[in-house]
C-alpha cells in the first residue's frame, strides 16, 4: 500500500485542547500539524488527505479555521476529516439538532472535498460563567480521548 500523505490544520486558542488532539492524530498518520496560513495551503495542495480541527466557539469551529477553509482552492474529491473539542462534546448538542461541524463541513464540501470522517471530544472550558464555576470538562482531552483520536486517524489512513 502506498504511504498516505496527510496534513492536519488546527486552530487551538483557548487552552490548547485541540492541539493535543491534533498531535495524537498526527502521531498516527505521520503527518504534520500546521496553523492556518501559507504553509498549510502549500501542504494541503500536496496532501492525499487533510484534517481540519479547532475548539468550538459559539456553535462552530474557530473563525480562523473557517476562513482558511473558505480560502482553499477548489478540488475534486480530495479526502478531508473534521475534528473538534468543546465544553459539551458534539453528541449532546446533536441530539437537540445543533451540529457544531456543520459550517466547516459545508465549506469543505463546496470546495469539492469528500468528508471521510469526523471526530470530537470534550475540552476544558472556562468561558464566561463556566470559568467562575471552575470550568467544565476538566481534564479533557484525557488519555481515553487521545487514544480514541489516535485510533480514529490510524483507521482513516489505513482505509485510504
Ligand atoms: C468564547 C468561547 C465560546 C465557546 N463556545 C462553545 C460552544 O458553543 N459550545 C461548547 O461546547 N464549547 C464552547 N466553548 C468551549 C471550547 O470549545 C473548548 O474549551 C475547546 O476545547 C477549546 O479548544 P482550544 O483549547 O483548542 O481552543 C467556548 C469557549 C470560548 C472561549
Give nearest CA residue, ligand 1 atom 19: 125
- Tell me whether residue 141 is exposed, middle or buried, using C-beta atoms within 10 angstroms of its C-beta: 0 to 12, 13 to 18, 19 or more: buried
- How far apart CA 38 and CA 159 sit, in angstroms, is 29
Percent of the chain residues past pLDDT 90, beyond the cut = 86
pLDDT confidence of residue 44: 94
**Which ligand 1 atom is the nearest neighbour of the CA of 15?**
25
Which DSSP letter does residue 142 get? -
pLDDT over 90 at 101, yes or no: yes
Domains, the chain, ranges and CATH? 6-159 (3.40.50.360)
Q: What is the pLDDT of residues 124-149, one digit of tens each?
A: 999 988 778 889 999 999 999 999 99
Integer Cα distance of 123 and 110 in angstroms: 28
Find, among 8, 54, 1, the residue nearest to 30 by Cα: 8
Which residues are registered as beta bridge partners of 53?
Answer: 10, 83
pLDDT at position 95 is 93
Instruction: Show the cell assigned to 33.
Output: 500539524
pTM, 2 dp? 0.96
| 105 close to ligand 1 (CB < 6 Angstrom) | no
User: Cα(57) to centroid of ligand 1, in Å?
Assistant: 5
Q: Please report how the helices 17-29 and 143-159 are oriented relative to each other, as an axis angle in degrees rounded to 10.
A: 40
Kindly indicate the confidence band of residue 159, based on its pLDDT and cuts at 50, 70 and 90. confident
> Is residue 98 lining ligand 1, measured as CB closer than 6 Å?
no
Q: Which pLDDT score is estimated for 21?
A: 98
Residue 2's pLDDT band, with cuts at 50, 70 and 90, is low
Give residues with Cβ within 8 angstroms of 91, minimum separation 6.
Answer: 120
Is 158 or 60 the better-scoring residue by pLDDT?
A: 60
122 within ligand 1 shell (Cβ under 6 A): no
- Report pLDDT digits (tens) over 18-48: 999 999 999 999 988 999 999 999 999 889 9
Amino acid at each position: 500500500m502506498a504511504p498516505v500523505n496527510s496534513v492536519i490544520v488546527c486552530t487551538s486558542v483557548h487552552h490548547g485542547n485541540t492541539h493535543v488532539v491534533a498531535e495524537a492524530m498526527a502521531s498516527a498518520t505521520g503527518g504534520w500539524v500546521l496553523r492556518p496560513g501559507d504553509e498549510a495551503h502549500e501542504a494541503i495542495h500536496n496532501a492525499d488527505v487533510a484534517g481540519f480541527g479547532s475548539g468550538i466557539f459559539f456553535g462552530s469551529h474557530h473563525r480562523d479555521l473557517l476562513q482558511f477553509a473558505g480560502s482553499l482552492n477548489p478540488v475534486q474529491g480530495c479526502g478531508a476529516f473534521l475534528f473538534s473539542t468543546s465544553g459539551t462534546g458534539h453528541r449532546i448538542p446533536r441530539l437537540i439538532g445543533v451540529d457544531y461541524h456543520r459550517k466547516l463541513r459545508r465549506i469543505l464540501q463546496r470546495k469539492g472535498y469528500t468528508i471521510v470522517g469526523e471526530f470530537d471530544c470534550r475540552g476544558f472550558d472556562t468561558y464566561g460563567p463556566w470559568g467562575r464555576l471552575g470550568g467544565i470538562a476538566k481534564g479533557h482531552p484525557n488519555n481515553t480521548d487521545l487514544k480514541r483520536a489516535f485510533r480514529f486517524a490510524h483507521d482513516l489512513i489505513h482505509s485510504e
